[in-house]
Structure 1
Amino acid sequence: MTVHPIGCLVSPQELAPRVAYRTYATSAAHGPVRVHLLSVDLRAEGVEVDLLHPGAVAARAPLSELADARGAIAGVNGDFFHISEAQHPGVDATGAPVGPAIGGGRELKAAVPAGQRFGPALPPGTDTREVFGVGADHRARMGRLALDGAVTDPAGSFPLGGLNQYALPVGSVGVFTADWGAASRARAVCGTDSDRAAACSAETYEVTVRAGRVVAVADAPGRGQVAEGTEVLVGREEGARRLRALAVGDRVRVRHRLVAESAGVPYRFAVGGFPLLRDGTPLPGLDAVTAAVRTAAGITHGGRGLLLMALDGAPGLRAGMTQAEVAALFAGSGASEAFGLDGGGSSTLVGRAAGEPAVTVRNHPSGGAERPVPNGIGVFSGG
């Protein structure tokens, strides 16, 4: 694959001090491509990066709307998501993302089981807990976020298996908070840890907790906005049997947090996907055959710089790149790490120069128009 060195990129445009947008043409194994690239210097005064999302985990909106609603100057789409639900008639697709999500320091959701994810096959040795984000130290990094939680009731404590997830592990109990939104919780008990298309569980139970006490119970997961200060517990199989022991009025305490696999500075922002490049070296076993229009993020200057990339989906340019080619592109652009995000019709990059009233879509989405997405990476500038 031919990769332009970063100094030879064409059509540069400064969107804000030390935030630049560039586009350039190159060639990949399957044909010509056009790369749309944002370079972000996190050392610049006023420059921030955060999660863009519609205000609920189980909701979607076009990236341009998400960016304008937050006043972002640029951004790319984020995680893969629950886009369809043909296998379970009568169960709605939630639109919720696959992996963990943190926005503005608020922990929004945990990862679904690996067999329940949407998107291409993961590189060997990776899983749905992978994240790309920025810590409280203002440095970007990749890592993993696991759910650490428990439910304590009159009979004792048991582990929490999910937080605002469209799919719960078999036999577990998950919690849904106001961050989930108004979407149905029914999909959470469908499929298995290894088979997304498996039947929905025949043994389910739901418990609503407010101010530390059970206020309602139901045999099946419900729908509708969860009020602030309220938690809805959904159980399947063994988890459902555990919840059935609860009665209205019982005291229940729910604890949950997302824990980084490697101890360090907490994430202020994190989005799901999968790693492509570590320490300047492509991950072993990356797909070098399947090409697609792709979105990805890279880390430069020891976490002080970001590269956010989306390929163009216009006819004649949508040959795309393989995972291995994207890793090589970022390595050739000076990145030490790179992270794959949702691609295909979701791949979108937006930007707004000084004086412009709103962002514009800089690439051509391969579906001909922006696809509503559950989240994205937003770039902000106070300068």
Structure 2
Amino acid sequence: MRAVLTGLVAWASLVAGSCGATAWAGPDAGSGAPDALSLGAPAAVAPGVGYRECSLKGGHGPAHGHLLTVDLREKRVSVDLLYPGVVGARESVSRLADRRGAVGGVNGDFFNIAEEQHPGVEATGAPVGPAVAGGRALKSAVPDGQRFGPAMPRGVTTEDVLAVGTDRVARLDRLRFEGVVRSGDDELELSGFNQYALPVGGVGAYTPDWGTASRLRATCGTDTDRGAPCSRTTLEVTVRDGRVAAVSRRPGKGAIPRGSVVLLGRDGGARDLSRLEVGDRVEVSKRLRSREGAVSFALGGFPILRDGRALGGLDAATAAVRTAAGVADHGRRLYLLALDGRAEYRAGLTLAELAAAMRKLGAVDAFNLDGGGSSTLVTRGSGGRAAVRNHPSGGAERAVPNGIGVFVK
């Protein structure tokens, strides 16, 4: 039986055993793998959590990485979502980590960063994929055609997540939204939950977890074209304490009071909602269904490595600064990697090279997160505050909607 490894010495020996060689060799050679990988000396961040730097040589030039290793077999260690308290808001990773007292963290999902194709429509800052914090579902995934970020590999959807179960085991998973609105004998299926884009003809539910961002963006674009015009036919119904309290023809903004749910429909969904009138009794039910079991933490992105094999269709031509998470030791170990954005390393890695790098670091499964100016890795500094370990490519931290936080009791 494999012994449980705790502390810096055990962590250092495990990583050295999995990737101590500086030259890349074996089955990855010639298949999109960086030409070389070397690791710096390990440093302890906290019991069960270690940090080190690594250097890689990709096809577009040298890259430099910053790596957190998280041992989930250490009972004092946990992983949870870092976010600003609501879905439609952004903050830097270091501030998010400081607020929650995390000992380390990286940035998370891709997000609704800009709206150049929809003049007058505000970007929400909300992430693309599902999100779960502390076992509580915060949002579901936007349609695949409405996402931001690089092209996904074959067979992947915006519902794919990196998750940690209530059993403390990390895994790749998929979270599908299920929701229903009932009023008397009438029943209407929901197609979205706290997301910046709704399917055409759909109805979405928005709760206080959404925040104050305008809900107008949710009615823009189509399931296959993010830049398509906004819907002309919309309807918003506010349900308060189980009854319809207000009806509006336009999507609103501002905080949603506790005890309230806003139902927003576009096109056919708006016509379906028009059956509701002020005073009607309404019941709204919603949940995220996991393929693998109960989830305590989850966030979106997309898988690039599964069961030790790179997914088909990964981009092997476009290099960029990137962030990724890897799963090893049957879900008991996480690798969190953020590349450096300094000028000499800004070429970064292709997605194919990133998948190969995560495999060489010891990951069996790996998940790509937002990159470029968002790529950030922090650890708790000596003054009790989070210190940014990499150099964000924009010259300073970018505000992001969420991230992965590492906590030690």
Instruction: Write the distance in 2 (CA, Å) between the matches of 1:32 and 1:332.
Output: 17
The CA deviation at 1:2 is 2.6
1:182-205 per-position Cα deviation (integer Å, ceiling 9, x unaligned) = 111111101100011111001000
**Correspondence for 2:359 among 331, 338, 343:** 331
Q: Deviations over 1:96-115 (max 9, x none)?
A: 00000000011000000011
Q: Does 1:159 align with 2:189?
A: yes
User: Cα offset for 1:3?
Assistant: 4.0
Q: Secondary structure at the match of 2:343?
A: coil
Using the alignment, how far apart are the partners of 1:330 and 1:184 within structure 2? 38
C-alpha displacement at 1:376, in angstroms? 0.1
Q: Deviations over 1:223-254 (max 9, x none)?
A: 01001110000001111011112111001111
Corresponding position of 2:205:
175
Aligned match of 1:321: 349
The residue correspondences of 1:221-260 to structure 2 (distance < 5 A) are 221-260=251-290
Q: Which residue of 2 aligns with 1:341?
A: 369
Alignment-mate amino acid for residue 67 of structure 1: A
How big is the shift at 1:46? 0.8
Quote the Cα distance in structure 2 between the aligned partners of 1:2 and 1:45: 37
Match of 1:361 among 376, 379, 388: 388
Give the TM-score of the pair, scaled to structure 1.
0.97
| 1:289 matched residue in structure 2 | 317
What displacement does 1:94 show? 0.2
Q: Is the 8 A contact 1:165 1:188 kept in 2?
A: yes
Q: 1:34 to 1:57 in 2, by over 3 A?
A: same
Does 2:238 match 1:203? no
| Pairs aligned (count) | 376
**AA partner of residue 186 (structure 2):** G
The answer to whether the Cα contact below 8 Å between 1:3 and 1:329 also exists between their aligned partners in 2 is no
**How far apart, CA to CA, are the structure 2 residues paired with 1:12 and 1:305?**
16
Are the equivalent residues in 2 in contact too, given 1:55–1:179 (CA < 8 A)? yes
* Cα distance between partner residues in 2 of 1:359 and 1:88: 37
The one-letter code sitting in structure 2 at the alignment partner of 1:379 is: V
Work out the CA distance in 2 between the residues paired with 1:30 and 1:259: 40
Query: 2:397 matched to 1:370?
Result: yes
Question: How do 1:1-383 residues align onto structure 2 when only pairs under 5 Å count?
Answer: 1-4=34-37, 9-260=39-290, 262=291, 264-353=292-381, 355-382=382-409
- Per-residue CA deviations over 1:250-290 (Å, capped at 9, x if unaligned) read 01111100001x2x331100000000000011111111111
Question: TM-score, normalised to structure 2's length?
Answer: 0.91
Contact 1:146-1:259 at 8 Å conserved across structures: yes
Which residue identity lines up with residue 111 of structure 1 in the other structure?
A: A
SS for the counterpart of 1:124 is coil
Output the amino acid matched with 1:330: M
- CA offset at residue 154 of structure 1? 3.2
Contact 1:3 1:332 (8 Å CA) reproduced: no
Q: Please give the alpha-carbon distance, in whole angstroms, between the structure 2 residues aligned to 1:136 and 1:113.
A: 27
What one-letter code is carried by the residue in structure 1 that aligns with 2:397?
Answer: E
- Native 8 Å contact 1:276 1:286 kept in 2: yes
Output the CA distance in 2 between the equivalents of 1:201 and 1:168. Answer: 11
Amino acid at match of 1:93: A
CA contact (8 A) 1:211 1:230 kept: yes
Tell me the CA shift for residue 155 of structure 1: 4.9
Question: What is the RMSD of the two structures over their aligned residues, measured on CA atoms?
Answer: 0.9
Counterparts of 1:347 and 1:381 in 2: how far apart (Å)?
Answer: 23
**Equivalent pairs: percent with the same residue?**
59
Distance 1:318 1:155 in 2: 59
Instruction: Tell me the distance in 1 between the aligned counterparts of 2:227 and 2:309.
Output: 35
The list of structure 1 runs, each at least 4 consecutive aligned residues, that deviate by more than 6 angstroms after superposition, is none
Asked if 2 retains the 8 angstrom alpha-carbon contact of 1:11 and 1:24, the reply is no
Aligned counterparts of 1:116 and 1:10: Cα–Cα separation in 2: 40
Do 1:134 and 1:140's aligned partners in 2 also have CA atoms closer than 8 Å? yes
Task: Tell me the distance in 1 between the aligned counterparts of 2:163 and 2:73.
Answer: 16
User: Separation in 2 of the partners of 1:65 and 1:161?
Assistant: 33
- Deviation of 1:334 (Å): 1.3
Deviation at 1:168, TM superposition (A): 0.2
Q: CA deviation at 1:89?
A: 1.1
Aligned-partner SS, 2:223: coil
Query: Following the alignment from structure 1 to structure 2, what is the Cα–Cα distance between the partners of residues 190 and 235?
Result: 12
SS at match of 2:42: strand
- Do the aligned partners of residues 66 and 72 (structure 1) sit closer, same or farther apart at CA in structure 2, a change above 3 Å counting? same
